[in-house]
């Protein structure tokens, strides 16, 4: 995986699709939304992976994650935040096919409407990063991430 320079204000955006074609401007839309996030909130976030559920390994597609006291299949989520560890930097995964699944096909070409679903998911996952790195809070993780998504939007 490619890593960003230490001085780079924005995380690297890596596309990893299998049997899926994202809208041509999707990566640019992610970059545009990242430019609006204050730099200090992105510190330590090295990579944003744009992918689809089919690109996940079989065990990852079957993996379950907890959210709001319920189990969900990882492959059905719209995004995922991996906190930094000693061996890996913080990473956000965005499942583009799931983000766009309830959207009309033309939505990404609409000047403002195309950003709504993407912004909600991206800012939610960045909210997890802010909660983990910058501003810890003693509340339900998903609620904190939702609050940050509203603040960043």
* Domains in the chain: boundaries: 12-98+105-152
CA distance 54 to 97: 9
Residues of the chain below pLDDT 50:
1-7
Reference 46, options 13, 79, 94, 87; nearest CA is: 13
pLDDT of residue 117: 85
pLDDT of residue 8: 55
Could you tell me the pTM of the whole model? Answer: 0.84
Beta bridge partners of 82: 91
CA distance 129 to 15: 20
pLDDT of residue 70: 76
Kindly indicate whether the domain formed by 12-98+105-152 is annotated with CATH number 3.30.2010: yes
């Amino acid at each position: 995986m490619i890593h960003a320079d230490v001085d780079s204000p924005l995380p690297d955006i890596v596309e990893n699709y299998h049997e899926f074609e994202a809208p041509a401007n999707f990566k640019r839309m992610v970059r545009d939304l990242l430019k609006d996030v204050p730099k200090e909130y992105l510190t330590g976030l090295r990579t944003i992976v744009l992918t689809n559920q089919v690109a996940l390994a079989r065990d990852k597609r079957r993996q379950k994650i907890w959210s709001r006291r319920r189990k969900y299949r990882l492959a059905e989520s719209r995004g995922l935040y991996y906190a930094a560890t000693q061996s890996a930097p913080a990473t956000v995964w965005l499942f583009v096919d799931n983000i766009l699944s309830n959207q009309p096909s033309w939505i990404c070409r609409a000047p403002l409407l195309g950003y709504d679903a993407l912004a909600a998911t991206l800012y939610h996952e960045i909210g997890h990063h802010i909660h983990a790195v910058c501003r810890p809070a003693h509340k339900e993780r998903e609620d904190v991430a939702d609050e940050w998504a509203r603040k960043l939007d």
